[in-house]
Structure 1
């Protein structure tokens, strides 16, 4: 355990300020151990609400405003955005020599997926007044990085999974060596594509957006979450803060990077960026909490990936640590806290993000 704490301390050093979510605070006892305190000073402000009852009333009013103006068709919105993203991804990674290798890059990238990160990138850009065309290269770059992480996560040396999105995992088709190389190539292409294909954005703005994306896959982003996940395993004595640390970095950081890059490219103010950062942190953690719940309540056929794998591998999950019922309540709280951050934005432009919070909460796969 002491080795784990040391590793987490090193990973947390220098990160943006984070703190536990309000939802997690309710799940913890009032007594804190020295190990638990490790996560507090280096933690990023996360999903905290100063006046929950007031904010909840504002959220309800905000949601009613756009519903009265016309029922928002989230399904149609998602289908349209996914179609646009898939078309752009197909064009960004054409088949060329070496053909087999480019086919390998496209295998996971173009497989059927929810495209949550690309859609978040576009939606936040449009929320603050930007255009889909401005955000699309970054949205594609996000999906390239996401595809790489899925490809590498499924490797035997990582999470060791044979299924992804209803198909054989990348390494089961192309071999582990090609999976590693194709993943690296997708990351390089992501930054190249954003730099070359993004039009009409000031260079300083581009540098900031690229920096945000680089942080995602750096030693204080998704990599930190994966390392701590591997070190924790199913070790006894692991606390809830450690589980949230893993999920914040492995999943929530993706939603955060997508949302903030989109907002930056759309010309968001600092206040808008801060609020969207909190929104996306809640959405990202919500996605993982629901994922943990689905892993123990759905079949492999329903999920499109191996069900119950985390339980068999004795991995940390919210249901394992706090039970199904508390996990569901925590998910509902995260969805509400996410919506609170959207109060004050144009209700019509905020409709996709408000609906996204409901979609992530109620998804079945």
Structure 2
């Protein structure tokens, strides 16, 4: 099975699980569930939940045990996109090929839809923790995800990104933004899957490093696509970073160095996977390569 087939198979699994998570009762606040579902079920690569399941599989874990955490991770990622698209932040009109949440439901409901997805993600993970009698591996996986999404992770990266607009920033600050705003959730997905799969400490560190490398390469490719990408393929506005005078990897390092560094991070990620079972690591090797050339 090649990478695209594997991605498609796991994406279908994630999509089916996402469709089950919301209650279908007729309730007064039904509109917020509709708004949450609008963004959550709008498609996307589902990269983070797939990575969580595949890392669990990589270390011979039970993938079924990891599904609630994969669903929670996608909810957290989607909440961040809803808020990121708001007028007070990036002010984008399109996401995943559709109008952004606030363009359909208004700013207030979009904010609450993001809040709802974030909170529901923790409800789902806690339910699994309780049902498994407070098993340490589920607690540790939840802790990893929580830390990556907070002010020491994704939110911290978003904060520095916002306060850096219309300013010249150092490569060090840009690295901080990328490692936290983008890479943190990717890294946590891999680590959480490894924890649930009962990986040893060495394997956890390898997964963490792999996540860091592909997370940064993912963002570099995004910065490149913001200049050379096709809006119809990307499913979102291009040139928005330039319009907002935001510093990107390309604006600081130039296109040629960005491409070179992208390939360097790919090679580092691939090297890490040589430490794992060759057959099971093939997915991760091919993924690292794919992320350097993707067009969406």
TM band (smaller chain): over 0.9
Aligned partner (choices 149, 174, 177) of residue 217 of structure 1: 149
Partner of 1:40: none
Q: Distance in 2 between matches of 1:269 and 1:309?
A: 42
TM value normalised by structure 2: 0.96
Unaligned runs of 5+ in 2: none
Partner of 2:66: 135
Partner of 2:114: 183
Partner of 1:265: 196
CA contact (8 A) 1:259 1:277 kept: yes
Partner of 1:87: 16
SS of structure 1 residue aligned to 2:270: helix
Alpha-carbon displacement from aligned partner over 1:85-128 (angstroms, at most 9, x marks no partner)? 01001101243323221111101111110011001000100000
Partner of 2:53: 122
Partner of 1:60: none
1:345 paired with 2:267, answer no
Alpha-carbon displacement from aligned partner over 1:279-320 (angstroms, at most 9, x marks no partner)? 001111110000000000013222110010101110011111
CA contact (8 A) 1:201 1:265 kept: no
Aligned partner (choices 258, 270, 282) of residue 327 of structure 1: 258
Q: Distance in 2 between matches of 1:215 and 1:247?
A: 16
Partner of 2:165: 233
SS of structure 2 residue aligned to 1:120: helix
Partner of 2:98: 167
TM value normalised by structure 1: 0.78
1:305 paired with 2:224, answer no
| Cα drift, residue 135 of structure 1 | 1.1
Q: Structure 2 matches for 1:1-365, cutoff 5 A?
A: 72-96=1-25, 97=27, 98-197=29-128, 203-236=135-168, 238-365=169-296
Q: Distance in 2 between matches of 1:95 and 1:251?
A: 33
Larger radius of gyration: 1
SS of structure 2 residue aligned to 1:92: coil
SS of structure 2 residue aligned to 1:361: coil
Q: Distance in 1 between matches of 2:282 and 2:133?
A: 25
Q: State the superposition RMSD in angstroms.
A: 1.4
